[in-house]
């Protein structure tokens, strides 16, 4: 039994998000580790290594940003869409600790890419849409940023800077070589005077508190983010131990989840006109529907 495997079975293991804050610096953050959940999502698809790596990165981002949501039933969706790139669609979402995702791509074009392609090589001219659906108020916040930079993490940083004016630092590490696949991530944000109902003041890349904590967080290494012998609590401690106070709070465990139930598709199909539904039927009178997230084909009674 490997060390990785042992650690997954205890509370310091994988498929968890840790919330933390550095109150005196008005900084909040999340750390994520994905292991078996990531493998479950990836195992539903037969993706080449490059696409697996991309989806693993996207799922870690989804878990980090999704874990910012407070109310049950709220959802975070990230969708990368391109014009003319080898990857034409990537969708991941998070709701109540459940994550899922898939990638639509051209196998031949992806095989022709070199190692570590940037976003432009993968997506061509593409856009990243990040959507927060808040359950309590039924509000939707969506921001769209160009898929520019070296990584999806960088595009997400741009989203927070441009759409929400929240200085953010995001680091993701994926380890997909060897028998196990794992991903780790860190998100840090600066929210001065951000209590409910109060206007945010002085947020900006040049704020001394932000400069300070973002340098500390930015010192995290790719190895540390996915080191199974280092717990997420230890990682936060290692980065911020010189701060006066650091609060940590483990959030609910992550799971792979999908909403592709017969009832779900029945409600979608019921919105189609009767003659179209008749056309969709197979010889047994069922309508086959495939779920892109889990590559399952469901047969829905017409």
Q: List interacting residues with Zn ion (CB under 5 A).
A: 258, 260, 291, 293-294
Question: Cα separations (Å) of 114 from 71, 109, 154, 175?
Answer: 42, 11, 20, 18
- Going by C-alpha positions, the residue among 267, 273, 271, 266 that lies closest to residue 287 is 266
Q: With respect to Zn ion, which residue has the nearer C-beta, 123 or 293?
A: 293
Q: With respect to Zn ion, which residue has the nearer C-beta, 250 or 301?
A: 301
Kindly state the helix (H) or strand (E) to which residue 291 belongs, with its residue range: strand 286-291
Q: With respect to Zn ion, which residue has the nearer C-beta, 12 or 79?
A: 79
> Beta strand pairing status for 296-301 and 286-291?
antiparallel
Q: With respect to Zn ion, which residue has the nearer C-beta, 142 or 261?
A: 261
Q: With respect to Zn ion, which residue has the nearer C-beta, 102 or 123?
A: 102
Could you tell me the smallest distance in angstroms from the CB atom of residue 140 to Zn ion?
A: 22
Q: With respect to Zn ion, which residue has the nearer C-beta, 94 or 240?
A: 94
Could you tell me the smallest distance in angstroms from the CB atom of residue 125 to Zn ion?
A: 30
Could you tell me the smallest distance in angstroms from the CB atom of residue 45 to Zn ion?
A: 12
Q: With respect to Zn ion, which residue has the nearer C-beta, 4 or 93?
A: 93
Is the distance from CB of 249 to CB of 265 less than 8 angstroms?
no
Q: What does DSSP assign to residue 271?
A: T
Query: E strands of 53-138, at which residues?
Result: 75-84, 87-95, 98-105, 124-134
Kindly state the helix (H) or strand (E) to which residue 22 belongs, with its residue range: strand 16-22
SS3 288: strand
Could you tell me the smallest distance in angstroms from the CB atom of residue 294 to Zn ion?
A: 4
Q: With respect to Zn ion, which residue has the nearer C-beta, 56 or 291?
A: 291
Could you tell me the smallest distance in angstroms from the CB atom of residue 96 to Zn ion?
A: 16
Query: E strands of 138-282, at which residues?
Result: 139-146, 168-175, 182-190, 247-250, 255-256
How far apart (Å, rounded) are the C-alpha atoms in residues 136 and 152?
29
How far apart (Å, rounded) are the C-alpha atoms in residues 144 and 155?
10
Residue-level length of the chain: 302
Is the distance from CB of 81 to CB of 74 less than 8 angstroms?
no
Could you tell me the smallest distance in angstroms from the CB atom of residue 51 to Zn ion?
A: 18
Could you tell me the smallest distance in angstroms from the CB atom of residue 291 to Zn ion?
A: 3
Kindly state the helix (H) or strand (E) to which residue 27 belongs, with its residue range: strand 27-34
> Beta strand pairing status for 98-105 and 255-256?
parallel
Could you tell me the smallest distance in angstroms from the CB atom of residue 293 to Zn ion?
A: 4
């Amino acid at each position: 039994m490997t060390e990785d495997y042992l650690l997954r079975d205890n509370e310091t293991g994988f498929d968890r998000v840790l919330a933390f804050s550095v109150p005196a610096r008005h900084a909040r953050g999340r750390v994520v580790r994905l292991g078996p959940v990531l493998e479950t999502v990836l195992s539903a698809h037969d993706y080449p290594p490059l696409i697996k790596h991309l989806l693993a990165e996207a799922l870690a981002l989804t878990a980090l940003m999704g874990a910012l949501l407070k109310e049950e039933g709220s959802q975070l969706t990230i969708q990368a869409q391109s014009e003319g790139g080898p990857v034409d669609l990537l969708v991941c979402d998070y709701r109540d600790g459940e994550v899922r995702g898939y990638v639509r791509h051209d196998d031949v074009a992806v095989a022709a890419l070199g190692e570590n392609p940037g976003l432009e090589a993968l997506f061509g001219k593409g856009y990243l849409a990040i959507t927060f659906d808040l359950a309590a108020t039924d509000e939707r916040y969506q921001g769209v940023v160009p898929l520019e930079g070296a990584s999806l993490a960088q595009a997400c940083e741009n989203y927070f800077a441009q759409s929400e004016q929240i200085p953010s630092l995001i680091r993701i590490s994926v380890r997909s070589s060897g028998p196990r696949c794992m991903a780790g991530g860190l998100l840090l944000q600066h929210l001065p005077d951000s209590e409910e109902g109060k206007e945010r003041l002085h947020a900006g890349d040049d704020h001394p508190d932000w400069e300070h904590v973002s340098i500390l967080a930015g010192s995290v290494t790719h190895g540390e983010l996915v080191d199974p012998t280092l717990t997420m609590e230890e990682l936060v401690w290692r980065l911020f131990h010189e701060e006066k106070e650091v609060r940590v709070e483990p959030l609910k465990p992550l799971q792979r989840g999908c909403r592709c139930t017969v009832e779900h598709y029945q409600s979608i199909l019921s919105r189609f006109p009767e003659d179209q539904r008749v056309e969709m039927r197979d010889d047994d009178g069922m309508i086959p529907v495939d779920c892109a997230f889990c590559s399952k084909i469901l047969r829905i009674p017409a």
